[in-house]
Structure 1
């Protein structure tokens, strides 16, 4: 069985963020995720979840300037205190919204000579996040992002993710497997899911290239979703794509593959 969630930072962007919850519910989703919920008040988000009955299963720790082309927050040695402040903010949202997992984006290093320092900082901050989220029953997760879209991203392969998971060996740490990003790096996400389902805390998908909905690129989603369904992975699988056209017109895959309808 696959449980699909709608990434409301990417889907239904024709609408204001809070209205996207209603749109996702009406489209047949039972869960949502948001990249960064912090532009909305906790009370407003909680009210929307209660009104629609959706679960908010995932969001990210604040990443500072990452989406604007900067290095982000979690790996920059000079931003350690700001990362701790971001964790405090995240906990406030965790307590009210009760996600399944929170993603810590590794970020970029623009100076290759400092890469080791950035990686060490990221490892320490990721462990701190896993410690911080554990009392709430929320997993800390992290992901690899392709270096075509984000040059200098410090974690960009499945092997790196597994290496850091082994190094940190934290009981509250899992991986976020993003089908789009691994595919953009010419990796085989299906093989990764088959071989390492126990390491995965969340899956996201988009077609490649272009990051559109299933059917706009070269990924075989029949085979991919069969792989997820048969792997033993039981978490959420997030639609994190940029719709080609209106969002509702991009959801043929949901009717085809969703195993439970509301």
Structure 2
């Protein structure tokens, strides 16, 4: 492990303890987007978008393709910075220089491709880039036994039943791979977990498995950002809903302020959908 890269685990494989005091304990937002805008030349990717993520809650970001969901992920995870507005962490400007800085601050992003190597074992992927070591100096080496043990323990703690941690991760179902990625982020001290369309390519049963693990991460006190275009996946686990359309916010609602039919109607275009339905009616 290089000396200029922050270690994510000590020699026993145990990550630094997450700081759970402060924002999450008082109910204040862990992570906020405040009137954020992002432009690419003349293209408006996001315009005046605000939302918040609290400990023990799921903030769902919904919108069709081109709504600005990917840009929002990039702002929250430190890939790009807003041209207007700001990203706040614990009420202070975050100023993430890059995704590593965001990760070190406890903001972990699970992308659709999951950043896993299919032919490597589950336990090897669990610690990819953050391997526990034993020994000192030139005798320092990867602690394989600890990696296997910790992987099995952490997956079990999340309620994930992997048949064999030595099996290649590519042999797992899509839902199982997503659950491993979630458990990995939780273990390495994430306070905010950003999930990029985790159910988009999954069947009904596998999507249900992922939603169950999202709820478990929420119940462990994490703030979760669930990016999706499917309101039927978002509404059961969501506590707050940000709806985007063409880079602009259609509203940021608590669950008590909006129903599933209303979420679906706003995403479908509201009056535009009514006009289409009228047009398609048989004479």
Q: Which has the larger radius of gyration?
A: 2
TM-score by length of 2: 0.36
Higher relative contact order (CA 8 A, sep 6+): 2
TM-score by length of 1: 0.38
- Flag the structure with higher helix content: 1
